[in-house]
Structure formats: C-alpha cells, structure tokens
Amino acid sequence: MVFQDLICSVLNEREPFHNIWFAGDFHTPPECSYQVNFPRLELVLDGEYINEMEDHQRKVSQIVAKAGDAIFIPPNCWNKPDWDTDCSVLSILFGRRQLGLSLVSKRKGEQGFYDIQKHSLQTRSGFAIDNILEALSSLARENIKKPMDELLLQALLQYCKTMLEAPAEASHNRVQDLYQGICIYIQENFHRQITRDSIASRFSISSNHLSRLFRQQGHMTLADYITWVRIDRAKFMLKKYNFKLNEVSVRCGFKDVNYFCRVFKNRTGRTPSDYRGSI
C-alpha cells in the first residue's frame, strides 16, 4: 500500500535537523485557512511547503517547511498553505472514528494538484493513539518541545503504520471507508464552495453514486451533512471569535449572510446573534 510505504520512508529518513512545527489558535485565523475540530499531521515529502501560521512565539508568520519537516495541527488550531511551490505533502487526519490519509502534489504556478491519492480506515477510541495525540496537542502549548516532539511524532507514525498493516475488521468494508473519507474531506473543506459534483470528482465517483452513498451509509443527505458541518463550525466561531455575521457566513462556506442566518435559525432555533448572546 502506498501510504504504508510512505510512512515507512518518513520513519527511516528522520534526521535531527528536521523541523516539527506546531500550529496554534492564539490569533484569529485568516480567511481560507484550514481549521477543524480534530488533530492533523502534515509531512513534507518533497519541495517546500509554505504556510501562514503561528510560530513558537505565538507570532503569525510564514514558515517554510522542507522535505522531512512535519507540521502538527491540534484540534481547532489553524494553518493556511500557500500552495504556490513545487511540493508533495502527506496529510494525516485523525477523526473521531476514522483515520484519513491524503497525498497531494503541486507544481509552482499551476492551478490544482497534479497528483491526489486518498485512503481512509475506521478507528476505535480508547487506544494509545488517543493519548499520543493528546500529548502532542499539550506539547504544542509548551515552550520546551525537544526532544519530546520527535519521540511523540515517531510514536504516532509507528502507530499509524501498525493500523495500516493490520486495520480493524470493520475497515474491510470499502463502501464504509469511502463514506468516512468523504466525511473527513467535507469537515476539512467546509469553508470552500464544495458541491456534489466537485466532491464526486475528487473521489472519482459519479454524483449519483455519491448521493446514494449518503442515503445508504449516513443518517442524512449529502446536502444536509454539508450544512450540519458548516453550522457546527459557525457555532464554534460565534463562541470563540468576534467575527461579524457576514464574515462567519463566508468562513463557513455560505455565499449569502441572509441565507446563512435563515439556515442557522432553522437548524438551531435561534438566530446567530441570539446564539452568541446566550453564551
């Protein structure tokens, strides 16, 4: 399997000079940044991967992660990739019930990615990986990170490798794996103008198959799931940041603030302003 081989290569090629960056959430995230409620790990396999994010001194700056470097993003922390350099990046997303892996390759000056590979498998809670992720998230808030960061990163990668080598029995259901992988993708890209057709294209399936998949595997339609994710993130932003309603709307993927307010009230029973005022 390609992802198993990639993680093996990363482990075998780790060097003391490789950097491990930790994202933060002290500052308000810029528009179009990635911010989700589960941990993420990004491994630079080739080239330079430029990101806007908080540095070790809690200052927002542009970091240049090179081949061999890693970026750990704790839950609800953010990063904003530049995506205008030659690079290949392996992203690992640690969802509540699934592990999502994504390999993307980009050429400078070109629109879109020239190579995208995805894989997901179901996971179970209550295992050591939960403690490793929690330790990395806690370490992100500490001033002294070495040598613990490298040891925890290697432990996390070894655990991921083991999961790929011997996935849980339930993960043999490819349909369920596909469904969970699409859910992760939506949770990561809720702020973008994702549609049924664009999601189907990303996963190389037909639009009708995608709709059928959500009817069969989920408790709601695809459109309802996208809306549910966006409203959930809107509630988080209303609680944490002083964004104006139109900015919350845009950051959650809604084109029109009035439509956002109608949907929010329909789903929660309160307007966004009432919801914020009740906190």
Query: Domain boundary at 148, 165, 182, which?
Result: 165
Based on the domain organization, do 159 and 211 belong to the same domain? no
| Predicted confidence (pLDDT) at residue 250 exceeds the cutoff of 90 | yes
Provide the pLDDT confidence category of residue 206 given band limits of 50, 70 and 90.
very high
- CA-nearest of 9, 53, 11, 55 to 35 is 53
Based on the domain organization, do 90 and 220 belong to the same domain? no
| Predicted confidence (pLDDT) at residue 153 exceeds the cutoff of 80 | yes
Based on the domain organization, do 154 and 177 belong to the same domain? no
pLDDT by residue (tens digit) across 85-135? 999 999 999 987 788 899 989 888 787 777 788 888 877 666 888 899 999
Domains in the chain, number: 2
Provide the pLDDT confidence category of residue 186 given band limits of 50, 70 and 90.
very high
Beta bridge partners of 20: 70
| Predicted confidence (pLDDT) at residue 221 exceeds the cutoff of 60 | yes
Least confident of 33-42, 125-134, 192-201, 236-245: 125-134
- CA-nearest of 22, 66, 43 to 154 is 43
Based on the domain organization, do 22 and 101 belong to the same domain? yes
Based on the domain organization, do 179 and 149 belong to the same domain? no
Based on the domain organization, do 79 and 12 belong to the same domain? yes
Does the pTM exceed 0.85?
no
CA angle 110, 200, 202 (to 5 degrees): 30
> Which of helix, strand or coil describes residue 132?
helix
Span 215-233, average pLDDT: 90
The residue range of the domain holding 208 is 173-278
Based on the domain organization, do 186 and 258 belong to the same domain? yes
Question: Which tokens is 214 given?
Answer: 């959500």
Based on the domain organization, do 155 and 177 belong to the same domain? no
Based on the domain organization, do 19 and 36 belong to the same domain? yes
Give residue 39's pLDDT: 95
Based on the domain organization, do 201 and 134 belong to the same domain? no
Give residue 124's pLDDT: 66
Question: Which tokens is 95 given?
Answer: 């969802």
Query: Domain boundary at 149, 165, 181, which?
Result: 165
Span 42-66, average pLDDT: 90
Based on the domain organization, do 134 and 229 belong to the same domain? no
Query: Domain boundary at 165, 199, 224, which?
Result: 165
Give residue 167's pLDDT: 63
| Predicted confidence (pLDDT) at residue 168 exceeds the cutoff of 70 | no
Based on the domain organization, do 9 and 61 belong to the same domain? yes
Give residue 125's pLDDT: 62
Give residue 169's pLDDT: 53
- Three-class DSSP labels, 200-260: HHHCCCCHHHHHHHHHHHCCCCHHHHHHHHHHHHHHHHHHHCCCCHHHHHHHCCCCCHHHH
Provide the pLDDT confidence category of residue 152 given band limits of 50, 70 and 90.
very high
Could you tell me the CATH number of the domain that includes residue 184? Answer: 1.10.10.60
